Every structure is written in structure tokens, then in C-alpha cells.
Amino acid sequence: MSDHPLVIVGGGAAGLMAAIAAGEAGAGDGVLLLERSRDGGRKILISGGGRCNVLPSELDPRRYVTASSPNVMRRLLRSWPLAEQRRWFEETLGIPLRLEPETGKLFPVSNRARDVRDALVDRARALGAELRFESSLERLEPLEPAAGRRHGWRLGLADGTHLRARAVVLATGGLSVPATGSDGTGLRLLELLGHRVNPLYPALAPLTADPPVHAELAGVSLEVTLHGRHDGERREERGGFLFTHRGYSGPAVMNLSHLVALARASGHAPGEGAELEVRWTHESREVWDARLRALESGPVGSELRRCLPQRLADRLMAEAGVDPQTPASRLTREGRAALARALGAWTLPWAGDEGYRKAEVTGGGVDLAEVDPRTLESRRRAGLFLCGELLDAFGPIGGYNFAWAWATGRMAGRAAAAAGARADLRE
């Protein structure tokens, strides 16, 4: 059984950052990182369509979702301010970032996600960390303390080997995108160790309709404003909307998909418990009513096709029961009201979501009250540190979740390096 001052489990964004932070804190060659995939950073590689949206250009903590304390969540985000994160990537890691103005996202100038992943791996190794790939954790047990001393942890791996560690950082992620290696192992082990894990659900996922009543619009995309409501929570998203063969996708939809997941988890029938309302041109029903009333000539369909993709305009008019050739002067009050509602307050007929297979993150996770907000050390198990998607918080599409992974990974890695230097492995 080999002994290590610090073992980090998980080689994704948070785990790699934890290894780097531990090395920068002086842990050096005392860091061992275990990763179940053959090369690590799999979500980094697929993010941003293979370009890696490293960070948002601005970060609004109110856009994060948690069932834990929002104050603790904000404190963790403030532990490494966004401007400092960007400076670290550009100056320390050597990855210059560029702003994509239309989305407010920061990408590497090279537009290659692999450059980001490789730079993180190289930095961890340069600081002395050993990265052991294709290594899966199966058991995690605290070594029994004696005479008031901290004795660390025993780790059992899938290949039958065992390790001992003075401190452990768990950065194993959640359940989203299982093709990258996420299977919830860390969450299950934490529950066995007595931690409170808030209910899990897929988040940032495409939505489905059953039947897919708008399948003929698949491929139509546009910018919309989407309002969502569930159990007293109200949110607004402005961004891309995409019709798919199975339902609806795009950033605006995915950023509010957690409302649907929560409604389904609370026992509501498909389409109930969460309301999603679309403004196709960002304008409200009242504004559209006034616009339609002010039309003086020409067919109504011509006005809508100037504002919307033709297939969508025609479908909305059909749903409102208005013939596109109807002259503006002959549009009835009822027809105008139905059309204004379809344009500025259209109810999205969802049935569910695409699940963890397509979800970008896992909602829920270890309650933030379970960790020390100064170090991310477990309040239940000394010498155990948690970071990244294991924790109960996620943000919208656009680099928010990487910002969370970088900040929490850095905090956990620094604190775990200090704990690993103090602990004693004698049994």
C-alpha cells in the first residue's frame, strides 16, 4: 500500500485545477491525481463545440442555481475573482483568451479546447504532480485516528490496488454526459460517509415534447426571451432558441431546463408544474397587440415574416387561427389577441428533458453547508475536500460552470496541500 500526502480523484476541470493549486502551494511531488479516462479533461475537450468556453466575460452570481445557501455560493465564487482567473489563464498558463462579443464568452485564441486541457495537464506535471490515468476509485475509508491525530484515508481502486493519503480531494463530477466518465461514484461515496446530498437532476439539457408537435420546424433557430416559473422561482433568459426533432434546445431553453426537471422530480405530470413562456421577438404580448392594431395595410403574414423565420411565422399564425393573407384592416379583435399571445406569450409545450446523456451539468449535489467555505474541507470528515460539480451549484451556459470549477478546485487544492503536510498516516 503506497502512501501519498495528497490524492486528488478526478482529472476534469476542477481536479486539474486542484492539482495545480496544490503544486503552487508547495505540495510538489506529493500530489497524485487519479483519473478514470485515458487522458482527462473530457468535458473541457467537448465544451464550446470543441473550442472550450473558458470563462464568461462577466459573472453574475444571481444566475447560479443552488438549493443550498446562496451566501455561501457567492462567497466561494468571490474566492477567485473573474479578472484574476482570466489573468492566470493568460499569464501563468499561457492561454490567451479572446472575447466573442455576440455571446459574451471567452475562448482561447487558438479556438482549440485541447490546448486548454493540455496546458492544464502540463502545468500540473511541471509542478510535480503524478497523473495516473485509467484509475477508478471504488472505496474511500477514513483511517481510524489514534491519540487525537489525523491519520488520513485509505483508497481502494478498481484494479484491486490500495493507497493511503493524508488528504483527499474529490473532484469526480456528477452524472451529466456519462460518455466523459461521469457516473456519480463520488456522490455515492460521500453519501456513504454521511454527507447530505441534495436531490440530483439533469440541468442545462434540451427539452422534449411528447408528441413532438413542432418537429416540422426542426432546424429553425432565433434569438428569444424566455420566461420560466416553478414553485415561486421566476427566471428570465435571453438567448438562442432551436427547434429539434424531439423538442427544443438552445441556450435560452437549456438555461431554464432545471425548472422542468424540478417539476418532474416533484411529481408533476408532463407539461405541468413549470411554465415556460416565449417572446419570439423579445417583445411582450401587449407590445405586439399595439403593433398589430397600428398596421394599416397589407396582409398580416407579411409583417410577421419580416420579423421571424417564415416557417415559424406561418406556424404561429396557424396556431392563432389567422390566415396569413388576412388584410391588416380586417384582422378581428379575437384574431389580434390570439396572434399577440402567440408572438409575445407563447407557452412552450414541454414533456420532459433529454436527461443526463445531454445535460451539461448535474443539478443538486453535496449541500454547501457540508463544507467549510474557507477551505472546502468536509465538515463531517477531516482531511476530505470537495470541489466542482459535486457541490450543489451550477450556472448558465457560457463559461459559468468552468468559473465555478476553477474557483472551487483552486480553493480545495490549496487547503488540501496544507492538510496533507500536517496529517499522519500511521495506523
Helix (H, G, I), strand (E, B) or coil at 384: strand
CA distance 412 to 33: 14
| CA geometry: angle 42, 77, 140, nearest 5 deg | 55
Distance CA 251, CA 375 (A): 33
pLDDT at residue 209, as a whole number: 97
Q: Where are the alpha helices (DSSP H) in 127-228?
A: 185-192
CA dist list (Å): 419 to 8, 14, 130: 13, 18, 18
Q: Radius of gyration over alpha carbons of the chain, in Å?
A: 25
Q: What region does 359 belong to: left with phi over 0, alpha with psi -120 to 50, or beta?
A: beta
Exposed/middle/buried for residue 118 (C-beta within 10 Å: 0-12, 13-18, 19+):
middle
The pLDDT score that the predictor gives to residue 1 is: 66
Report all structural domains of the chain as residue ranges with CATH numbers, in order of start.
Answer: 2-201+362-422 (3.50.50.60), 206-354 (no CATH)
Nearest Cα neighbor of 204 from 266, 255, 151 is 255
> Is 406 strand, coil or helix?
helix
Q: Is 218 helix (H, G, I), strand (E, B) or coil?
A: coil
Q: Which residues of the chain have pLDDT under 70?
A: 1, 145-151, 422-427
pLDDT at 420: 84
402: left (phi over 0), alpha (psi -120 to 50) or beta: alpha
**Helix (H/G/I), strand (E/B), else coil: 258:** helix
Output the pLDDT for position 147: 42
Q: Which residue has the cell 475537450?
A: 45
